Structure 1
């Protein structure tokens, strides 16, 4: 079965049709206050979102866990610290990116450890995201047809 998948057209297809465009993606800017990032995360229902700079280039990702970890004191959660930090103080700068001409096989491999992959153009500008969910849905459809 895996050999069939490896030789199939699926892994060589481009990922364009699976990309969620940046206009529909919850994100924050690196200079936003941490309380804003937490609000966006809570309202969106996501556990992590992309972090962008003023040129809309990917700077990393931020998660609820990172925010909570940054305000966790020895005795209590120090909510006042939400106003003392900005997103780039706690964001994870290590986030995998792909370009629009990347193959499905590349996306599948990189999505193993991440809930989403950021898609960038040749200048590094944010195009959108590719979710692990969309990758798995396509795999499911593929296996239903074979």
Structure 2
């Protein structure tokens, strides 16, 4: 559980955390891998969301997932990209959050991921929360928390000596 002053300060910038769905690069489950390969190559992101035709979040796709499908024994088979669908290789078991204000869950998920998909209760993709935006807020927090809250410095050296 986050301590209240930290949570309060992180929530001050919550309106900046969400990158809305309409500006997040994505592909659809029925797109071929060639299309996904082009999108990922052009935008230079490691992973992007996969949506169905109605805007429901279905998972993530990355360049390594696509190149794994192209690998043959002695050469790359690029022809497979036209025949295979994104749904055949995408990552399906992806943790999401419903609300941008779910700071603690987002922070836990961003330890291993550069972004967290934000999906409403009906599965509609609303956008992403990025590690970058959280780091900007964390930077603000580390510089400002002492100005806005009374911070008492504890002397841990005596408690460490007591344990010895």
Quote how far apart the aligned CAs of 1:116 are.
Answer: 1.0
Q: After TM superposition, give the deviation of residue 91 of structure 1 in Å.
A: 0.3
Q: Give 5+ residue unaligned stretches, structure 2.
A: 146-164
Mapping 1:49-68, distance limit 5 Å: 49-68=48-67
**Is 1:28–1:37's contact at 8 Å kept on the other side of the alignment?**
yes
Match of 1:85 in 2: 84
2:5, 2:42 → 1: CA distance? 38
Query: Equivalent residues in 2 for 1:1-146 (5 A)?
Result: 6-11=2-7, 13=11, 15-100=14-99, 102-146=101-145
Whether the 8 Å contact between 1:11 and 1:103 is mirrored in structure 2 is no
The size of the alignment, in residue pairs, is: 142
Is contact 2:18–2:100 with CA below 8 Å preserved after alignment? no
Asked whether the equivalents of residues 49 and 61 of structure 2 are also in contact (C-alpha less than 8 Å), the reply is yes
Question: Which sections of structure 1, spanning at least 5 residues, go unmatched?
Answer: none
Distance 1:143 1:20 in 2: 23
TM-score by length of 1: 0.90
Contact 1:16 1:100 in 2 (8 A): no
Q: The residue matched to 1:79 in structure 2 has which SS? A: coil
